[in-house]
């Protein structure tokens, strides 16, 4: 489990095809003790398992399922910046919201605008699959970042990006047409499933 509070912005240094999946190498400066093989880490919101570590780098495998839900090799290209978060430990402070690292798919940025006070607002498409699980003031994770739904309309929702989020993530640089990995709120997904 994760919180959606980004701990580092890393960079993909290599992405090698392995069968129908990818072997990803990421440069990072994550805080705390060194990463360990077998550790779970959220990379742009995807829960991945560390398969190897090196000085300031780690490797992880991407399954065909992860590739299918996140736009394939387009997202996982060398040079791309990615949000990183280590898994929660029992007793850790819970900020953000519960994020499983199980990405539901991708959504497209429709608009990005700056607002007074140094913040910004992202308007993002709301596909049919998300309509039952997105509510105003509810939670959503975009590229692994825990956000609150500020406004909701027909086929879109907006999230407010405070200056701290803009400073610690890449979301302030996202432009219309770009795609973001999305994980809908797990509690709302469970409630919607039960209501069927």
Digitized pLDDT (tens) for each residue of the chain, 196 residues in all: 898 999 999 999 999 999 999 999 999 999 989 999 999 999 999 999 999 999 999 999 999 999 999 999 999 999 999 999 999 887 777 777 788 889 999 999 999 999 999 999 999 999 998 898 899 999 999 999 999 999 999 899 999 999 999 999 999 999 999 999 999 987 776 677 766 6
| pLDDT given for residue 90 in this prediction | 73
**Fold of the domain spanning 8-86:** Elongation Factor Tu (Ef-tu); domain 3 (2.40.30)
Relative to beta strand 119-125, strand 57-62 is unpaired
28 and 84 Cβ atoms separated by less than 8 Å: yes
Q: How confident is the model over 144-161, as pLDDT tens digits?
A: 999 999 999 989 999 999
Is 20 buried (19+), middle (13-18) or exposed (0-12) by CB count in 10 A? Answer: exposed
Residue matched to tokens 């129908």: 20
| pLDDT given for residue 93 in this prediction | 74
As a whole number of angstroms, the distance between CA 125 and CA 158 comes to 9
* Helix (H), strand (E) at residue 64: helix 64-69
The CATH number of domain 105-194 is 3.40.50.620 = no
Q: Where in the chain is the domain with CATH 2.40.30.20?
A: 8-86, 105-194
DSSP 144: T
Instruction: Enumerate the β-bridge partners of residue 184.
Output: 140
Q: Which two tokens stand for residue 184?
A: 């809908």
Q: How far is C-alpha 144 from the chain's CA centre? A: 2
For the chain, helix, strand, coil in percent to 5 are: 15, 45, 40
Q: Which two tokens stand for residue 167?
A: 């400073």
Q: Which two tokens stand for residue 69?
A: 């839900």
């Amino acid at each position: 489990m994760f919180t959606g509070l980004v701990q580092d912005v890393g960079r993909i240094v290599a992405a090698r095809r392995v069968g129908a999946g990818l072997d990803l190498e990421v440069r990072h400066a994550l805080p705390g003790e060194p990463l360990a093989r077998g550790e779970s880490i959220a990379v742009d919101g995807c829960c991945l398992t560390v398969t190897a570590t090196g000085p300031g780098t780690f490797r992880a495998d991407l399954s065909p399922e992860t590739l299918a839900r996140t736009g394939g090799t387009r997202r996982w290209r060398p040079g791309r910046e990615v949000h990183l978060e280590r898994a929660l430990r029992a007793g850790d402070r819970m900020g953000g919201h519960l994020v499983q690292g199980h990405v539901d798919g991708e959504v497209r940025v429709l608009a990005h605008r700056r607002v007074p006070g140094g913040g910004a607002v992202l308007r993002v498409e709301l596909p049919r699959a998300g309509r039952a699980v997105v509510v105003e003031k509810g939670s959503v994770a975009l590229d692994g970042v825990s956000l609150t739904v500020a406004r909701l309309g027909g086929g879109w929702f907006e999230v407010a990006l405070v200056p701290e989020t803009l400073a610690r993530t890449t979301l302030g640089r996202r432009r219309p047409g770009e795609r973001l990995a999305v994980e809908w709120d797990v509690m709302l997904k469970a409630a919607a499933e039960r209501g069927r």
